[in-house]
Structure 1
Amino acid sequence: MLARCYRPKLSVWAALCVLVLCWFYVFPVYRLPRDKDVVEEVLRQGEAWHKNQTGIDLYRKLLTDCCDPRRMFAVTKENSPVGKVLWYDGEFYHSHTVNNETYSLFVQDNPLQLPLKKCAVVGNGGILRHSKCGHHIDRADFIMRCNLPPLSKGFVEDVGTRTHLVTANPSIIEKRFQNLLWSRKSFVDSMKAYGSSYVYMPAFSMKPGTDLSLRAHYALADSSSNLTMLFANPEFLRTVGKFWKAHGVHGKRLSSGLFMVSLALGLCEEVAVYGFWPFSVDLEEKPISHHYYDNMPPYKGFHAMPEEFVQLWHLHKSGTLRMRVGRCPPQEGGS
């Protein structure tokens, strides 16, 4: 009788233990460095940086083995034939079955001229303001930018002008361009800043983003734009997310910047990173804006930007990639 009384209690305790373990798996307890600690660490490192070819080769192999960026970073006719089910990486219970309409919008295969040599991945952090990194960025062979940033004259000295691939979250189409339901002119005109680059959209990450991404594609196609639309492959995004989760990044979703850095590490011989600084002060501990062009904060709890920075800083210190933080020197002999 006594044993029967304890069984339900033991079951409840077991269930609670499982819930607690799951909570710590999703939201682990760890201490992120304070902004001041990060500044001190960066200042201690100084300008010293040495390329580590072994580290570069290792990360290219790790990302190739887990995520196959050469073949899978975009949805193509080769990897997504008619009838293939694309499971949304941001909403696991939604999927899209490739039909004749969507298939016709895909590129044939990876359109990038591989191998890419010196790549620059440009984030939008406020640390770029007054950095004078524009000429460094523009010297790269392949330049990736995030979320349709402004490249107007007032920013050229800090962020450069050239672009080869730029990401565009569907939420930008929704908020900045009113879902492209009323007018497409402002969208098409704003996209001219990116020349003949690739526009990379996660059309199959969240269900509402599919129609928005298709509208953006048709808006560019109907205007005879020089831009080429690429749809991010949800399988690639999912596997990259798992890769960084295993390396200590526990946000609900990776930032567009970290996806781009991952792509660059998988495809490029050298990677330089600019504008990745998710902290409220600069290296002189003076307040800075969240973006170099505005001070709009991110959605809380969605990305784990400080964790992402810590991982990238480890790669910088190991010589696997180079992070540019603060001002760029006026002239430089190396990369």
Structure 2
Amino acid sequence: MLAVRAEDTQPVCQYVKEGFNLAYVNDSDVGLKTDLITINPTQIQREFKNLKKNPDPLVKRVSVYGNASLAMPAFAYTFCTALSVSVLKVLHPVRPQQPVVFFNPTYLRTLDRFWKSRGLKEVRLSSGFILISTALELCENVHVYGFWPFGNDLQDNPVPYHYYDQLSPHRYMHAMPEEFVRLLQLHSKGALTLHLQPCSSDNF
């Protein structure tokens, strides 16, 4: 699970742990607590095809995150808007304590231009990289766990792209190794702390 922990004197940053793309939480090194979860609209297409008629699977899936906010790129592409609005309409009546929020499209465009001007060439920034960038804007101390774009870890053990499914990275959309290089550069400058070893429960 890619997780971002941000700590700061600002109330919004005292403790924020972000999870991505409806990742499952458990009592392993993934951790049990999260404050923000992203939902990729393509997940709704793929996993919750009959959302309007049968919302229960999605409601059950998001309920494990407690009151964590659910963030969606509703305006990234035209097809994302209707899917994101349908999630909002389904979840708000039954889980009003768990807000569904949409990324500001102007902010996403600005962030995309910022990184492209610094040599990062990809069709779309990954969800993880977007929220790491956001955390860096808001918080003084940012710790990143689980951002590893390669097929094997430092001990040469195989590592899945997502620990909870068999999907492979979308090579046309994202340039994960290039994003990783930028995170290494930020780590070397002290802008964030990039954790590459297995996590312990103390981290979460």
Same fold (TM over 0.5): yes
Give the corresponding residue for 1:172: 43
Deviation (angstroms), 1:114: 4.5
The reply on whether 1:150 has 2:46 as its aligned counterpart is no
SS in 2 for 1:257: helix
Give the corresponding residue for 1:117: 13
Structure 1: any 5+ residue segments left out of the alignment?
A: 1-112, 119-140
TM-score computed with the length of structure 2 as normaliser: 0.89
Alpha carbons of 1:260 and 1:242: their partners in 2 closer, same or farther (altered >3 Å)? same
Give the corresponding residue for 1:71: none
SS in 1 for 2:71: strand
Structure 2: any 5+ residue segments left out of the alignment?
A: 1-8
- Distance of 1:284 and 1:211 partners within structure 2: 43
Q: CA RMSD in A?
A: 2.0
Deviating above 4 A after TM superposition, structure 1's stretches of 4 or more consecutive aligned residues are 329-332
Number of equivalent positions: 196
- Whether the aligned pair in 2 keeps the contact of 1:196 and 1:226 (CA below 8 Å) is yes
Deviation (angstroms), 1:331: 6.1
SS in 2 for 1:236: helix
Alpha carbons of 1:225 and 1:285: their partners in 2 closer, same or farther (altered >3 Å)? same
Give the corresponding residue for 1:249: 120
The reply on whether 1:315 has 2:171 as its aligned counterpart is no
SS in 1 for 2:29: helix
Identical aligned residues as a percent: 39
State how 1:1-335 maps to structure 2 within 5 Å: 114-117=10-13, 141-151=15-25, 153=26, 156-178=27-49, 180-328=51-199
* Bigger CA radius of gyration: 1
Structure (1 or 2) with the greater helix fraction = 1
Instruction: Give, as a single letter, the amino acid of the residue that structure 1 aligns with 2:75.
Output: F
- Whether the aligned pair in 1 keeps the contact of 2:136 and 2:142 (CA below 8 Å) is yes
SS in 2 for 1:293: coil
Deviation (angstroms), 1:248: 2.0
Alpha carbons of 1:179 and 1:274: their partners in 2 closer, same or farther (altered >3 Å)? farther
- Whether the aligned pair in 1 keeps the contact of 2:35 and 2:67 (CA below 8 Å) is yes
- Whether the aligned pair in 1 keeps the contact of 2:122 and 2:175 (CA below 8 Å) is yes
Alpha carbons of 1:186 and 1:282: their partners in 2 closer, same or farther (altered >3 Å)? same
Instruction: Give, as a single letter, the amino acid of the residue that structure 1 aligns with 2:195.
Output: R
- Distance of 1:224 and 1:318 partners within structure 2: 41
- Whether the aligned pair in 2 keeps the contact of 1:115 and 1:267 (CA below 8 Å) is no
- Distance of 1:292 and 1:193 partners within structure 2: 17
- Distance of 2:199 and 2:33 partners within structure 1: 17
